[in-house]
Amino acid sequence: MLKKLFQSFRSPLRRTQHIRSTPEVLNSNQHSLQRAQFSRYAVNIVERLQNAGYQAYLVGGCVRDMLLNITPKDFDVATSATPEQVRAEFRNARIIGRRFKLVHIHFGREIIEVATFRAGHPQNDEEEDTNQSSRNESGRILRDNVYGTLEEDAQRRDFTINALYYDPVSERILDYANGVHDIRNNLIRLIGDPVQRYQEDPVRMLRAVRFAAKLNFGIEKHTAAPIRELAPMLREIPSARLFEEVLKLFLSGYAADTFEMLVDLQLFDPLFPASAEALEHNPTYTHTLISEALINTDLRIKQNKPVTPAFLFAALLWPALPKRVLRLQDRGMPPIPAIQEAAHELIVEQCQRIAIPKRFTLPIREIWDMQERLPRRSGKRADLLLDNPRFRAGYDFLLLRESAGEQTDGLGEWWTDYQDANDSERRDMIRDLGSKGDGEGAGPKKRRRSSTKRKRSSADASGAAGE
């Protein structure tokens, strides 16, 4: 369902106008949070840092999610202590990062992230210390280790709903950017000038979409307005970072809504250019296949079933593959080598945008390769395919293609029956193929709309996502 882009309740203010020297303070009787709701390790870190003479607060997503009655995935702490000072207080602390210098404090499997208050970046080259802070020509922040005050830290955060500081000792919330107001009004709003903030870090456009989908919020109109024009800036982001961001977008349980918003805001193109082209030239089929895959992924996540990026990326990229396969076949290449060559070409191109690791690209290619092998069922081929470790992934992907309207002459139904049949019934099914001159098909047929395909439940249509 396409998200509505809400209008703001007031005009956006420039960064220099948006700064509040004193926060709105919400005492314990003005909000629903209690320290017992938060990780005891995170609360302990805040208390120890405060006792050592530093300012320290629980901050960001954990405060936002608790106000929305959502269980946080992690708990972050912001403090006036430098990373070195934090490490000196905790023997189980480790400094990480270069672009953002952070401290991870380990408590068994739980890791609490501690960040030092940061200030805004100098606006001219003479003031900028390249060892601590640097930008590229387009304004993107390359290094962000300029430490500052609590007030400055609040203003450099991206969205108002993430600029909330909770003190578990006094049980007060400090709100510098009207974040509680925007939470109550279900609104995603950038702090400062949207164009400047997106230029500093184009990934903020993806974060706006992710939060809107996750929280079922609208994106404030001035926050949304520059996105379509600035979307190409995502091409400047390192492909490894985009891989992590795409996982957050599509493996958080809200992938279907996220996809709709990415397409609407023209953010899908810089992430998946070949698939975006397929969406333009064959919109119904491409949109249906990707949406079905994402709906099934969301369902599996809600059911606490395992998922893997391999099946997800296989679905996101598949609509761009058949055209390439047919082009190679027209040049005389046999079907299986054609799909293998086209798959290699497509994945290499995609990895230039999103660095999909080899542990996922290999299964992607095997899933696609199975689409050419599944029609070939004569003799002992069906049993050999059934024993193939990628059979289930390939079979589920076949059902996904059928649900999107591809004509496969009942191939998915045949494989469904074959799995449930006994040995004798399977031999009869193979003989029937021979009498019909079938079993040597050349892979995916031309697509048509169909609503009569027999398939397993939608929850299982991407069951291989966990295999």
Percent of the chain with pLDDT over 70: 83
pLDDT at residue 17, as a whole number = 37
pLDDT at residue 142, as a whole number = 54
Q: Is the pLDDT of residue 114 over 50?
A: yes
Measured between alpha carbons, how far is 327 from 332 in angstroms, rounded to an integer?
A: 9
Radius of gyration of the chain (CA): 26
Phi/psi at 164 (5° precision): -115, 135
Structure tokens at 291: 């949406």
Helices (H), 282-334: 283-302, 309-317, 321-330
Q: Is the pLDDT of residue 21 over 70?
A: no
Where residue 74 falls (left for φ over 0; alpha for ψ -120 to 50; beta otherwise) is beta
The mean per-residue pLDDT over the stretch 426-433 comes to: 92
The tens digit of pLDDT for each residue in 212-263 reads 999 999 999 999 999 999 999 999 999 999 999 999 999 999 999 999 999 9
Lowest mean pLDDT among 69-73, 126-130, 433-437: 126-130
Query: Which range, 119-123, 128-132, 231-235, is most confident?
Result: 231-235
pLDDT at residue 146, as a whole number = 86
The tens digit of pLDDT for each residue in 66-111 reads 999 999 999 999 999 999 999 999 999 999 987 778 999 999 999 9
Global pTM reads 0.83
- Give me the chain's average pLDDT, please: 87
The mean per-residue pLDDT over the stretch 404-412 comes to: 93
Is 76 one of the annotated active-site residues of the chain?
Answer: yes
Helix, coil or strand: residue 397: helix
Structure tokens at 379: 């003799």
pLDDT at residue 375, as a whole number = 95
pLDDT at residue 434, as a whole number = 75
Helix, coil or strand: residue 134: strand
pLDDT band at 10, cuts 50/70/90? very low
Tokens 């802070």 found at: 133
**Choosing from 65, 144, 158, 298, which is the catalytic residue?**
158
pLDDT at residue 463, as a whole number = 47
Structure tokens at 356: 């999909």
Taking the CA atoms of residue 442, residue 444, residue 446 and residue 452 in that order, the dihedral angle to the nearest 10 degrees is 120
pLDDT at residue 433, as a whole number = 87
Q: Is the pLDDT of residue 166 over 60?
A: yes
Q: Is the pLDDT of residue 459 over 60?
A: no
Structure tokens at 44: 């302990």
Q: Is the pLDDT of residue 14 over 50?
A: no
Is 74 one of the annotated active-site residues of the chain?
Answer: yes
Percent of the chain with pLDDT over 90: 79
Measured between alpha carbons, how far is 444 from 329 in angstroms, rounded to an integer?
A: 13
Q: Is the pLDDT of residue 121 over 60?
A: no
CA contacts within 13 A on the Cβ side of 130:
3
**Choosing from 65, 76, 175, 269, which is the catalytic residue?**
76
Q: What DSSP character marks residue 34? A: -
pLDDT at residue 169, as a whole number = 95
pLDDT at residue 22, as a whole number = 83
Candidates 259, 370, 263, 254; CA nearest to 310 is 370
Candidates 85, 90, 58; CA nearest to 72 is 58
Q: What DSSP character marks residue 444? A: -
Candidates 353, 46, 4, 338; CA nearest to 185 is 4
Cβ–Cβ < 8 Å for 410, 374: no
pLDDT at residue 441, as a whole number = 47
How large is the angle between the packed helices 335-351 and 309-317, nearest 10 degrees? 100
The tens digit of pLDDT for each residue in 257-285 reads 999 999 999 999 999 999 999 999 999 99
Q: Is the pLDDT of residue 134 over 60?
A: no
Q: Which residues contact 429 (CB under 8 A, 6 or more apart)?
A: 382, 414, 417, 418, 421
Residue with more model confidence, 466 or 218: 218
Q: Which residues contact 197 (CB under 8 A, 6 or more apart)?
A: 158, 190, 191, 204
The mean per-residue pLDDT over the stretch 104-133 comes to: 74
Exposed/middle/buried for 11, CB within 10 Å: 0-12, 13-18, 19+? exposed
pLDDT at residue 454, as a whole number = 40
Helix, coil or strand: residue 190: strand
